[in-house]
Amino acid sequence: MTEPDDIDTEAGPEAATAETATSEMPEAPEEAPEAGEASEAEVSAGGDEGAQPAEAEHTELDRAMHLRMLEALLFAAAEPLDEATLKSRLPKDADIGALLTDLEALYQPRGVNLVKVGGKWAMRTASDLAFLLRKETIDQRRLSRAGIETLAIVAYHQPVTRAEIEEIRGVGVSKGTLDLLLEIGWVRPRGRRRTPGRPVTYGTTEAFLQHFGMDRVGDLPGMDELKAAGLLDSSVPAGFAVPSPSDALSPDEDPLDEADLADLLAPRDDEG
């Protein structure tokens, strides 16, 4: 039998022994990472854990900045702002609803509060501190003689028309006189007389009663009180009597509707 060409017959038993030893030698274990070195998996895991706090911190910083921006907008606004306007001025990722809630809670115990008025947001002085900004002034208006006489006629003869006022006074009543009494709030249009032309009737207001310390128009001074105060001559004509005014509509008087009342009280620049 012919031996294969690739067998070295001269190597002898030493070569066979060496080959056997080599095949039986175990493989060397993988080198363990040195101290201070982390495996790739550990590095990856540690990186994810470190990224979460960093991301949360970044989110908090953005929220704090959004809150500052919202605060600046509300402080600088000349009028209340709605949420759509505020949202348009803030970054797209800003949660306007949550930010407003946080800012409202932040300012709640302070001297300035964030309040919602008419569906819009604005900074306002705390209601319990409003007295610090209140300034009371007395607007003194001196009624003319014609004004005093007209007021007295309306008070005692209500309901009374303008023509009836002029008849009692004996002179015409300027529109300015009635306008002033209406502006002060002591006289009001109360109805229309059921006569041709349907003239407006006038009467006094609740503000008139409060100013003069009366509960109702029936508490107006009578003849004896007017004489005692020197406002009525002691020698009055026979049959003279002080009228008895009433807040109730008279039988020949119709109430004013809202449209008619608004038209009567509307300012007219073309009239003096």
For 107-159, the pLDDT digits (tens) are: 999 999 999 988 899 999 998 998 888 887 777 777 888 888 899 899 988 88
Rounded distance between C-alpha atoms, residue 103 and residue 98, angstroms: 9
Q: What is the mean pLDDT of the chain?
A: 78
Residue in 106, 30, 116, 21 with CA at minimum distance from that of residue 63:
106
Assigned CATH class of 145-265 = mainly alpha
Q: Which residues of the chain have pLDDT under 70?
A: 1-56, 58, 234, 236, 239-240, 266-272
49-131 CATH = 1.10.10.10
Do the domains 145-265 and 49-131 match in fold?
Answer: yes
pTM of the predicted protein model? 0.45
- Where are the chain's structural domains? 49-131, 145-265
